[in-house]
Structure 1
């Protein structure tokens, strides 16, 4: 459904010929499908094109609406190189998506048709709308999270609700009162902004919130449970065709705070020490929904048994729940000690000293290797004593050595902090004394 106009997949899949005809209009050619770029505007037309490409077996490159010139050039070169590979069976490529690029240059992930079917099958064991209900789409369509919702609907028995109003108040209204709204996908930042608009229980047919993109603080989980809002944490990435770990529906009320769940059916997960930091464990996954390598890259990503390293540090408790601690590229090494910036940020938020518009990053330091720096935006910098008090339960080497005012916190539209860009921003604002606080 788009705003108030219905367009359910259980209806349009019956009209397969209409979709294929639409595909022919956008991708002419009666013999072989023509690979193409697709600018992923958040519109019904884009959703129909995605469905058409699946039914017509036309591979496409998902291009962000605000794509830079280098991204546009890479997308076009990929099409021209014919590495998109026209497909006539279900073993070919469905689409190519760009990673968020928060850890560097965006990579291009080929998403296979078999991966999509495996991911849809595994996600059916997680939360999803009841037959005939709608999944409120708030995620960008150029990310695998948005595309995966479209595909779950196309291959399932529910619809997608696409709306122009994605404000926290509008999302809260869907949860409160729209009986057709079965599931909403949110990232932690979105959920935290929606919660103030939720003063009572969701409508009785609401299945819950599928949460991705990072962990929730214990306080936020308590707020959700207090109003009867089911939240299903998960973990996934473009390389795993969206969620591959999730909290099982029957354990959502008892799942520990901060977990991203357990491996979905068809997915295996394990932890291995990082050779560069043996006290930290890296998450590895394996399964049919995991990709087989980046486009135009010879980078070695898999071991001999087909395990893929996600690049995330994680831990697993005695019950089998996984907890993502930080991205490998986010790790700060100061004086030989490892610092998790997310841990520091969560401690500051839990103390009440800072609530939003702040982030922690590591910047080069001649003495310490890296210096832990706190960036704050649109607010007064907290006093050094207040910072130390808020972080008193953390080792002293984890405390920021400097606080810097910035005009923005670099990040993705889903709320992920781009620590690489933040560090570059902070370098130009450093003061000489590293022990200033």
Structure 2
């Protein structure tokens, strides 16, 4: 383990602040000490290279140290943040975990009785003597897909990162590719990583003010909630130099509002999937949703409007699902719909599964949401397709009003505004007013999948 580039890097950063948890700060020396202690504890317990470990943890010194100690042992790690016992069990079974490690407070190591022979991908990874990482899909129904990464491939791009003096607030989840990418990037560059006490907008804003955070990775859904909360006016956010956003399409009107609120902050769009890893991108500007892929480790092409990708850091495969989204040549069909612009720039418009088919005409929810968010009366919205016996689908919208208003008058205003900006088939037929935005634990909008045939 001490021969790995990442352990040596952490050792070089010994005196730098590594992690801020509430009122407690730890330097990189504390991290390396904890990694070594946990590595010894895992070895003593009988845990071996190639074993599959369900790791219940979070962005704490213990959780991060346990993750890297298991990488150092060349184990295959499945981070789990689910709070429901049934959800945890689903993930442990999908990963075929042999061990349960809990690293929230005290370290706990428990063997799990094997119920089946190891998957071929696990056997193959064990033969290479490389550590592994198992991530899960964020589907809201059924058993989540368990996808297995070779950690050597996943971490390779970070080995060439240079040291920087950067303070990062970590926002996306501990078991999410975006959150882990932020963690790996920050640790490779010797950054100070701030963990907010919660993902409440005011708590995040206070952490930015207190610790002079320079980089905030977030989702468009959270950034809109951030604006709605008034936190940007209440706290000093002048230290914030960069906001990176991804995981879902950014409505153009929302991007403009964020830039108006934080004019000195660069807004940078990111892109990645759990299957292919995070791809290096270039944003045309802070006020543009156009991006360009600029990554020597990633190839892409567009097939019938859908983005296909192939990367050096993509998964070995799924442990509990067929590989129909991968071609024989290794291309991953992302399900993301894109439009091509000039000079190699692209615009991510939405997900194929969320496309609304209105009598043969296709509608992307993000386009309609962007128009709705132009209205000062609309604080937030969710656009989706509703079944219609004649047209296949209608466009429907759930609206969070900015303030109390007459529902009938507001509906008329919304439809009038949409008719001025959109083709008739894109105008919401059904408008429902709700008190709160609808999103999941990953701060992504939860839509109903639609049939696009």
Does the pair score TM above 0.5?
yes
Q: In 2 relative to 1, CA 375–165 (structure 1 residues): closer, same or farther, beyond 3 Å?
A: closer
Distance 1:137 1:412 in 2: 18
**Match among 327, 344, 348 for residue 368 of structure 2:** 344
Note the 1:297-316 alignment, pairs <5 A.
Answer: 297-316=321-340
Q: Quick one: structure 1 residues 158 and 70, their matched pair in 2 at CA, closer, same or farther if it must change by over 3 Å?
A: closer
Matched, 1:217 2:252: yes
Q: For 1:327-342, list aligned pairs within 5 A.
A: 327-342=351-366
Matches within 5 A, 1:86-105: 92=130, 94-101=132-139
Q: 2: CA distance between counterparts of 1:292 and 1:257?
A: 34
Q: Distance in 1 between matches of 2:85 and 2:339?
A: 36
1:240 and 2:276 are equivalent in the alignment: yes
Q: Deviations over 1:122-174 (max 9, x none)?
A: 9x5xxx9x635432212211222222223334444324222314432343344
TM-score (normalizing by structure 1): 0.80
Q: 1:21-45 CA distances to partner (integer Å, 9 max, x unpaired)? A: 24446xx216545322122445432
What's the C-alpha RMSD, in Å, of the aligned pairs? 3.3
Report if the CA contact (8 A) 2:384-2:397 is conserved.
Answer: yes
Find the aligned partners of 1:98 and 1:411 in 2 and give their Cα distance. 18
Q: What is the 5 A alignment of 1:246-395?
A: 246-247=281-282, 254=285, 257-273=288-304, 281-356=305-380, 358-376=381-399, 381=407, 383=409, 384-391=411-418, 392-395=420-423
Match of 1:427 in 2: none
- Cα deviations by residue, 1:237-275 (Å, 9 ceiling, x for unpaired): 21122x215326xx6xx35522344343322222111xx
Q: Is the 8 A contact 2:254 2:373 kept in 1?
A: no
CA contact (8 A) 2:48 2:75 kept: no
For each residue in 1:222-241, what CA deviation from the matched residue of structure 2 results, as whole angstroms up to 9, or x when unmatched?
64365301222111121122
1:316 CA drift (Å): 2.4
Segment drifting more, 307-316 vs 58-67: 58-67
Cα deviation, 1:29-86, whole Å, max 9, x if unaligned, reads 1654532212244543222221222222221222233246256235225224423737
Give distance in 2, aligned partners of 1:61 and 1:140.
13
Change (3 A) 1:89 1:20: farther
**DSSP-derived class of the 1:420 partner:** coil
Q: Is the 8 A contact 1:353 1:390 kept in 2?
A: no
List alignment gaps of at least 5 residues for structure 2: 1-18, 98-113
Query: For residue 187 of structure 1, what is the aligned residue in structure 2?
Result: 219
Q: Which residue number corresponds to residue 202 of structure 2?
A: 169
Query: Secondary structure of 2:46's partner?
Result: coil
Distance 1:104 1:349 in 2: 33
**Cα 1:393–1:207, aligned 2, differ >3 Å: closer, same or farther?**
closer
Contact 1:259 1:322 in 2 (8 A): yes
Task: Give the CA deviation at 1:298.
Answer: 2.2
The equivalent position to 1:85 in structure 2, one of 119, 122, 126, is 122
Secondary structure in structure 1 of the residue aligned to 2:275: helix
Contact in 2 for aligned 1:234/1:261 (Cα 8 Å): no
Asked if the contact 1:377–1:406 (Cα under 8 Å) also holds between the matched residues in 2, the reply is yes
Shift of 1:368: 1.1
The 2-side partners of 1:394 and 1:285 are apart by 31
* Alpha-carbon spacing, 1:95–1:67, altered in 2? closer, same or farther (3 Å): farther
Secondary structure at the aligned position of 1:416 is classed as coil
Residue 31 of structure 2 corresponds to 12
Distance 2:41 2:130 in 1: 21
The 2-side partners of 1:373 and 1:91 are apart by 51
List structure 1 segments (4+ residues) > 6 angstroms apart after TM superposition: none
Number of corresponding residues: 401
